Each structure stands twice: as C-alpha cells, then as structure tokens.
Amino acid sequence: MTLDWQVFLTDDGGGRTYLEWMMEAWRWTLAVAGASWVVAMITGAFFGTLRTLPNNPWLVRLANAWVELFRNIPILVQLFIWYFVVPKMFPAFQQVPGFVLVVFGLGFFTSARIAEQVRAGIQSLPRGQRYAAMAMGLTTTQTYRYVLLPMAFRIILPPLTSESMNLLKNSSVAFAVSIAELTMFAMQAQEETSRGIEIYLAVTGLYALSAFAVNRIFAYIERRVQVPGFIAAGGTGGGH
Amino acid sequence: MLGNLDLSFVSWDMLSKFVLSGFIFSIQLTIVATLGGIFFGTLLALLRLSGRPWLVIPATFYVNGMRSIPLVMVILWFFLLVPLIIGRPVGAEASAVITFIAFEAAYFSEIMRAGIQSIPRGQVYAGQALGMTYGQNMRLVVLPQAFRNMLPVLLTQTIILFQDTSLVYAIGAYDLLKGLVTAGKIYGRPEEAYLLAAIIYFTLCFGLSWLVRRLQARIAIIR
C-alpha cells in the first residue's frame, strides 16, 4: 500500500484544499481547547478552593457535589446535554452559539478534575502554614491569596500539565456536536477522499504536536515559577 | 424549569427493546477491555521494566504513543485499519473491543508499572536468594502484591473506561448511549433521552466510585 500525500492539495469541492481545511480545523481544535482551559481553570480553582474552606460545611458539600456531578457523566453525554437539552430547558440559551456551549461543556467537565487536584494541592501543604497566616491576622481570603494558593498551584503543576493535555485530547469529542475541529475533519475528509490513512496520520500528528507543545509550555512555566529549595528542579512527582 | 421535558416515554417496554442490548454491550466492552487491558498492560509493564533496550524502547513508544492520541482518533484508526489487516470487514462492535483492549493496555501498563515499582527491591532479592526464576519471582512474589496495591487505581481506571465506552458513538457501535439516543429518536423525545443517559451513567459511576472508596479504606486498614 502506497501513501499518496497529493490528496492534501486537491480541492474539497468548496474552493479550498484539504490542507487548508485541516489547518482551519486545527485552529478550531486549539480554540475549543484553549477557551475550555480558561473556563476549567477558573471554575476548577474556585471549587477546589471551596472544598478546603474551614468552618463552611455547606460550601464544602456544594463544591463536592459539583465535582461528583461533572466527574461521573461521560464527556460525550455532557456535550449532548449542553448542546441539546440546555437550550430546550432554558430558551435564553437558544441564542448562544454552539461553540460557547461546547466550551462550557468541556470546561466544566475538566473543572471537576482540576478542582480535585487543587484540593489535593492545598491539603498537601503543612497545616502550620494556614495557622501562621491566621496568627499574622490575615483574613481567610488573604490566607488563600498570599499563602496557600501560590504554593498549592506550584505543587500541582505536574498533574495540571497532564490534565491540560487531556483537555486537548478530549476536545476531539466536539465532533459529535458538529464543531469543525480536527476529528470532524478526519471523519469527513476520510469519507470524501477514501485516503483515510494519510488523513488520519496528519491529524494524529497535529494532535501529538499540540499535546507536546502544551507539555513544553507547562515545563517552561514550572521552571519559571519554581521556588528554590521547595520543589526539586525538573521533578515530575510533585513535592511533599 | 423542567416544564418542556417529559420523561413519561420511559417504560420497561422501551428500555428492553432499545436500551438493554446496548447496555449489555457497554458492560461487556468494559469487562473485556479491563481484563484484556490489564493482561496486555502487565506484559507491557514487564517489557518496560526488563532493562533490555530492544524490549524497553518499542514498549515505551507504544505506551506513550497511545497516551498522546485522543481516544476518538484511536477508535477511528482501528475501524479503518482492522479490516485492512485481516482482509474482511468487521462490525463496529468487534472493532470497538479490539480498540479498547489495545488503548487501555497503555493506561493499565502505567498503573502496573507503578505497582511493580512499589514493591521493595529486597523482596525481589529475597526471591532470587531462594533460587526463584524471573518468572516465579514475578508470578509468586511481585505481581500478587502489585495487583493488591494498585487495586483501587485499577478499579478507578475501569470506571473511566466505562465512561469512555460511550465514545464508540464515533463509529456507530450500538452501546448504552446509542440505545438511548435511538429510543429518543423513535419516541420523539431526543432531549429527554440524553438526560436519561446522564442519569444512568451518573448513578452507575457514582455508585462504583463509592464502592472503590470503601474498598480503599478497607485495604488501607489491612496494610
């Protein structure tokens, strides 16, 4: 069997080559993953922090419920809910573009995992740090803002890296609700050209490349924000 | 809020006609992929820990390769390649089983590798001192403990696997989700069917992870 890469230079019937289509699909993948990442980080950090609050059992329970809800339903089903069920239940959502719904679907799904990591990061800090902050008269907000969260985030950078790469891979599920991203391109172009192997190889390569780029970006951040003497340089296991 | 939703189409008749066979396939796929994934994953882990470059490098390449590709793409790849390799078309269901064993083996191998490495070296040396071969040492000393140590993680991975089986949607295999979606279409209640899918998956996964947490607590006491 010979590979025929010429297929990428042929017209897809809409005035653009398959290569151009694939590049556009790649941009969609990066846009979906990037926007979802922002949603996931904000909500994940928020609910992860709530889960460690002292003296607020109801907020802790609420945050725990959030994590369980978004962790125990397959991402594909969650996307269908956002895309089909939410607009039906709340007519206001009918005006919202599909892209935004998918971003919230992927973002909240990932936020449950990030909340779990943030909680673990905060709880891995010595109890004395919280007490020290209290003894200095910091409010709870200040304690988290200046003492706990800066260290917790540094500790959880390695698992955060793999979760961000997971998010990029999970964005492939958006094909199911007609987002024109890489997997959607792979399925349609494969059908139109019957050159599945070349198409899939190129798409797989782009996914691997994107995941690798995420990995490098986080490795860079990890080096830049490292606090000397706290977490071993280049360590992959997190610090305890 | 639930005003426009109507779950009254849910009946035993509907469930047994459209959903049951899909549900059984999802469970079968989960069990077969877990057992097959743990078997081949353990082999991969042993290859990676063998210390022989011609075994370590291909196994590492396989595991890292699988782990850097989205599962949906892996499903599509196998659906494309399996018929080319064996020379005749296979159904979406058979393709899904092969895919999940091959894909999950990579993830289970990482868990088993951690499990094997969690056994103190001294135990391996003790086995060698008793004159055990490599195979005996692994089978009688290392692996039983590695499995035991990693049992909660293996089960958690199985729950994730069960959720991931819904992705066979990409090749149209008839699983739990597909069964519900089909029923939703036929009864004209697609949105309610998605909601029902969410409820079923949530109940199963939440219940299972609760069991895993209890198991974890019991194992922690024994150790």
Summarize pLDDT for B70-102 with one digit per residue, the tens. 999 999 999 999 888 888 888 899 999 999 999
HEC string of A62-83?
HHHHHHHHHHCCCHHHHHHHHH
Rg (CA), chain A: 21
Residues sharing a CB contact under 8 Å with residue A118, sequence separation 6 or more, in sequence order? A44, A45, A48, A49, A51, A152, A153, A156
What is the model's pLDDT at position B88?
Answer: 86
What is the model's pLDDT at position A178?
Answer: 86
What is the model's pLDDT at position B222?
Answer: 59
The 3-state DSSP composition of chain A as helix, strand, coil percent (nearest 5) reads 80, 0, 20
What is the model's pLDDT at position A231?
Answer: 56
What is the distance of C-alpha B145 from the center of its chain? 21
User: What angle (nearest 5°) sits at the alpha carbon of residue A108, between those of residues A106 and A112?
Assistant: 115
- The span from the CA of B71 to the CA of B42, in Å, is 20
Instruction: Determine contact, residues B78/B99, Cβ cutoff 8 Å.
Output: yes
Region of residue B131 (phi > 0: left; psi between -120 and 50: alpha; otherwise: beta): left
Chain A residue with minimum CA distance to B4:
A89
Whether residue B131 is contained in a domain is answered as: yes
Query: For residue range B31-68, what is the model confidence (pLDDT) as tens digits?
Result: 999 999 999 999 999 999 988 999 999 999 999 999 98
- The span from the CA of A84 to the CA of A67, in Å, is 22
Whether residue B4 is contained in a domain is answered as: no
Query: For residue range B120-154, what is the model confidence (pLDDT) as tens digits?
Result: 989 999 999 999 999 999 999 999 999 988 998 99
Can you name the residues that pair with A11 across neighbouring β-strands?
Answer: A17
Q: Is the CB of A73 less than 8 angstroms away from the CB of B201?
A: yes
What CATH number is given to the structural domain containing B138? 1.10.3720.10
Tell me: pLDDT of B167 over 90: yes
Domain residues for B182? Answer: 12-222
* Lowest-confidence region among A192-196, B12-16, B173-177: B12-16
Residues sharing a CB contact under 8 Å with residue B177, sequence separation 6 or more, in sequence order? A74, A76, A77, B22, B26, B166, B169, B197
- The helix/strand/coil state of A133 is helix
User: What value does the mean pLDDT take over residues B156-176?
Assistant: 93
For A:116-175, CB contacts with B below 8 A are 165, 169-173, 175
What is the model's pLDDT at position B133?
Answer: 93
- The span from the CA of A152 to the CA of B19, in Å, is 45
Whether residue B3 is contained in a domain is answered as: no
Whether residue B7 is contained in a domain is answered as: no
Task: Tell me how many domains chain B contains.
Answer: 1
Q: Give the residue numbers in B contacting A (CB under 8 Å), as ranges.
A: 1-2, 4-5, 65, 68-73, 76-77, 80-81, 84, 163-164, 166-167, 169-170, 177, 190-191, 194-195, 197-198, 201-202, 205-206, 209
Instruction: Determine contact, residues A35/A107, Cβ cutoff 8 Å.
Output: yes
**ipTM score:** 0.89
Query: For residue range B107-120, what is the model confidence (pLDDT) as tens digits?
Result: 999 999 999 998 99
Instruction: Determine contact, residues B146/B116, Cβ cutoff 8 Å.
Output: yes
Q: What's at B76, amino acid-wise?
A: L
What is the model's pLDDT at position A239?
Answer: 39
Q: Please name the member of A72, A176, A211 whose beta carbon is closest to the beta carbon of B169.
A: A176
What is the model's pLDDT at position A47?
Answer: 96
Q: How many helices (H) and strands (E) does chain B have?
A: 10, 0
The 3-state DSSP composition of chain B as helix, strand, coil percent (nearest 5) reads 85, 0, 15
End-to-end CA distance of chain A: 53
Query: For residue range A44-83, what is the model confidence (pLDDT) as tens digits?
Result: 999 999 999 988 999 999 999 999 999 999 999 999 999 9
Kindly list the structural domains of chain A, giving each domain's residue range(s) and its CATH number in brackets, ordered by start: 5-225 (1.10.3720.10)
B109: tokens are 């191998």
Tens digit of pLDDT at every position of chain A (240 positions): 678 888 888 887 778 888 999 999 999 999 999 999 999 999 999 999 999 998 899 999 999 999 999 999 999 999 999 999 999 888 888 898 989 999 999 999 999 999 999 999 999 999 999 999 999 999 999 999 999 999 999 999 999 999 999 999 999 999 999 899 999 999 999 988 888 899 999 999 999 999 999 999 999 999 999 888 775 444 444 433
**Preferred mutation among B29, B62, B72, B181 to probe A, highest tally of A CBs within 10 A:** B72
Tell me: pLDDT of B223 over 60: no
- The span from the CA of A93 to the CA of A192, in Å, is 34
Q: Is the CB of B164 less than 8 angstroms away from the CB of A74?
A: yes
What is the model's pLDDT at position A34?
Answer: 96
CA distances from B191 to A128, B187, B195 (A): 50, 11, 6
| Burial class, B88, CB count within 10 angstroms (exposed 0-12 / middle 13-18 / buried 19+) | exposed
Instruction: Determine contact, residues A200/B76, Cβ cutoff 8 Å.
Output: yes
Residues of A in contact with B167 (CB under 8 A): 74, 76, 173
